[in-house]
Structure 1
Amino acid sequence: MQQTPPKNPRPVFNTIFAFPPNRDTMGGTSYFILENLGNILIDCPVWDEPNRSFLQQHGVRWLFLTHRTAIANVKEIQQTLNCQILIQEQEAYLLPGIEVSRFQHDFTLSPTSQAIWTPGHTPGSSCLYHCDQGGVLFTGRHLLPNQQGNPVPLRIGKTFHWRRQLNSVQYLRDRFSPETLHYLCPGANTGFLRGQRYIDRAYERLAALDLDTYLEQKPEL
């Protein structure tokens, strides 16, 4: 049987790339940001030769992990790329024997990129905000596209704390504005974007969420 050739990272914007979904992270999508002061890898891509070559060619200063499910081959990635690992302090214990940088609420990776703690999906669930392109928020699994391509919080059986997750959505709405948040890049369910690779009108769509209705949402299997 003929094997499907590996897919290369695809551009989302000129300086942002998306990797194909990774089975080792439950179909998670990893992203890569080209930065003047050091490039940022968001979550763990498939650790195969095409992705290794791409990342070695460009170099990586930071591997930022948005939540525990995004962890795969971290030790190998760090050894190969000689990068720093950043994770919210409540989930750092999941990386024993690996040198990591921990943060509590916020962490500035560069003048244009900042990690933000958004607990709920997991205790250490976090997003990364990148201020280029009018503002891009990499949401991990904190906010995912539904079948209509709209960003929503998704309650599953393993959700750590549903009310805290909804509070984290409200925190993002309070923190940003239509002028500072144009796009979302989710960490999963990217097939619902139908090739667009990002969610546009990000703040408008977040503002339209009725969070009181979501309080009664039952977990999805």
Structure 2
Amino acid sequence: MDQRNTRTPKPPRLLLDGLFAFPPNRETLGGTAYFIVEKPGNILLDCPIWDEETQQFLKEQGGVKSLLLTHRGAITPSVKSLQAALGSEILIQEQEAYLLPDVPLTPFEQEITLISNLTAIWTPGHSPGSCCAYWQRHEGVLFTGRHLLPSTQGEPTPLRLAKTFHWFRQLDSVALLRDRFSSDTLNYICPGANTGFLRGKGLINDAYHKLKALDLLSLRQHPISL
């Protein structure tokens, strides 16, 4: 018997009150999806592994009001199935919307408020329509998709990859986030991939100071990572 098919799927992990992280999804090259539980409506950030266990978990938590896709690499073929099963609104920055021509969407340009304390922010660079999501709870949590990822030391950093859409725009987007927040408004970063580098912590704390410490001028000369 193939032991790979008999393993019990890992359940979502509780990171903070009202915040779960799903196991990495092979369909998004190891991407991590997050789930926020809020009274006005629960929010799913990017696509988790879509199976019976995930569907049951989301229904038990009260369903999904909205699914926010932070970049094109977070899209999976299960988007339509998820929407059909849960009746969720799907939000995506307008420059990525063409990738889902047969799916009812809510595209946005610069920013959009999903619920009163959660805002999606356009941060182009990694992809044309890359975005982050800012949750006001827990002194500020920023979900960065692949816009900012953990380094091998677990520090938040933009990565210049072979598929990076526009490196300088990505760095400009990092600067806008740095200038938008403060030590009082940004406490955690939840990256959309590379979470193994967090050494089991699941998120990046002291987020604003680590974001402010980035040397964006030096990063403009950064070579492409494979």
TM-score scaled to structure 1, two decimals? 0.99
1:78 to 70, 80, 83: 83
Which residue matches 2:107?
Answer: 102
Partner Cα separation in structure 2 for residue 88 and residue 145 of structure 1: 23
Which residue matches 2:123?
Answer: 118
Pick which of 211-220 and 132-141 moved more: 211-220
Is 1:66 paired with 2:88?
no
Partner Cα separation in structure 2 for residue 112 and residue 154 of structure 1: 28
Aligned AA (1:130): W
Which residue matches 1:211?
Answer: 216
2:92 to 59, 83, 87: 87
For the residue of structure 1 that corresponds to 2:205, the secondary structure is coil
Aligned AA (2:52): E
Deviation at 1:111, TM superposition (A): 1.0
Is 1:45 paired with 2:48?
yes
Aligned residues: 221
Aligned AA (1:5): T
For the residue of structure 1 that corresponds to 2:161, the secondary structure is coil
Identity level (%): 58
1:45-71 deviation per Cα after TM superposition (whole angstroms, max 9, x unaligned):
000111111012221000000000000
Partner Cα separation in structure 2 for residue 36 and residue 143 of structure 1: 28
2:24 to 17, 21, 26: 21
For the residue of structure 1 that corresponds to 2:114, the secondary structure is strand
Partner Cα separation in structure 2 for residue 109 and residue 52 of structure 1: 21
Aligned AA (2:220): L
For the residue of structure 2 that corresponds to 1:11, the secondary structure is strand
Aligned AA (2:9): P
Deviation at 1:153, TM superposition (A): 0.1
1:138 to 128, 134, 143: 143
Which residue matches 2:13?
Answer: 10
Ranges in structure 1 where 5+ consecutive residues have no aligned partner = none
Which residue matches 2:158?
Answer: 153
1:166-214 deviation per Cα after TM superposition (whole angstroms, max 9, x unaligned):
0000000110000000000000000000110100000000000000110
TM-score scaled to structure 2, two decimals? 0.97
For the residue of structure 2 that corresponds to 1:172, the secondary structure is helix
Q: CA RMSD of the aligned region, Å? A: 0.6
Which residue matches 2:198?
Answer: 193
Partner Cα separation in structure 2 for residue 219 and residue 76 of structure 1: 36
Aligned AA (1:163): F
Aligned AA (1:100): L
1:14-57 deviation per Cα after TM superposition (whole angstroms, max 9, x unaligned):
10000000000010000000011100000000001111110122
Deviation at 1:4, TM superposition (A): 2.0
Ranges in structure 2 where 5+ consecutive residues have no aligned partner = none
Partner Cα separation in structure 1 for residue 69 and residue 224 of structure 2: 24
